[in-house]
């Protein structure tokens, strides 16, 4: 095989449509741009331009602030933990850690940690080891005879270095 014999596979490339090249081409006269108006002309950049008038997005008030380093927690409800224990996906005898919650499929990924909320009832005696829990969730677990241990936050860089 020589360089001059190289060819693309048939159908791999498609010739571009040349617009405005006569009525026989199927895209002649106005070249698919419709009739008149700014969009039919060349050199159009419309997105948010309002002809020199102050654009709407600049006239509206801006409010709030998005913290760039905010924490994002995976959320688990007590009712779901109880359900997974009854189904045998979680073992109430051992400590239920964030890794155990991920392994059981209750939480997809830990993100910055797992936070337990008090939605639903819990009757099993469990020992939870999580990054956070609401006051009512802690009360509900302790009322059932269990305990909640809040873990110290681990920095992302330390976590990556440990692995």
- Tokens 């692995």 found at: 163
Instruction: Mark 112-128 as b/e (b = at least 16 C-beta within 10 Å).
Output: ebbbbbbeeebebebeb
**pLDDT of 159 above 60:** no
Contact (Cβ atoms closer than 8 angstroms) between residue 64 and residue 105: no
Phi and psi based region of residue 45 (left: phi greater than 0; alpha: psi -120 to 50; beta: remaining): beta
d(CA 19, CA 31): 5
Bridge partners for 130 per DSSP: 150
- pTM (2 d.p.): 0.55
Across the chain, mean pLDDT equals 88
What's the confidence (pLDDT) of residue 89?
87
Residue 78: closest CA among 116, 27, 42? 116
**pLDDT tens for residues 45-100?**
777 888 889 988 899 999 999 999 998 999 999 999 999 988 888 888 888 888 99
CA distances from 96 to 26, 93, 128, 151 (A): 67, 9, 5, 12
- Give me the domains of the chain, ranges plus CATH numbers: 18-61 (no CATH), 74-162 (3.100.10.10)
**pLDDT tens for residues 118-130?**
998 888 888 989 9
CA distances from 37 to 40, 41, 43, 125 (A): 6, 7, 12, 72
d(CA 2, CA 19): 36
């Amino acid at each position: 095989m020589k360089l001059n014999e190289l060819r693309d596979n048939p159908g791999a490339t498609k010739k571009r449509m040349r617009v405005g090249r006569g009525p026989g081409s199927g895209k002649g006269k106005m070249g698919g741009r419709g009739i008149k108006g700014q969009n039919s002309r060349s050199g159009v950049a419309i997105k948010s331009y309002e002809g020199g008038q102050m654009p709407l997005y600049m006239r509206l008030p801006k409010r709030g602030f998005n913290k760039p380093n905010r924490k994002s927690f995976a959320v688990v409800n007590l009712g779901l933990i109880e359900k997974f224990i009854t189904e045998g996906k979680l073992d109430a005898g051992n400590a239920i850690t964030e890794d155990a919650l991920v392994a059981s499929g209750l939480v997809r990924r830990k993100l910055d940690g797992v936070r337990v909320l008090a939605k639903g009832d819990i009757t099993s005696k469990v020992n939870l080891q999580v990054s956070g829990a609401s006051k009512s969730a802690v009360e509900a677990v302790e009322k059932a005879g269990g305990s909640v241990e809040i873990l110290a936050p681990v920095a992302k860089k330390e976590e990556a270095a440990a692995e």
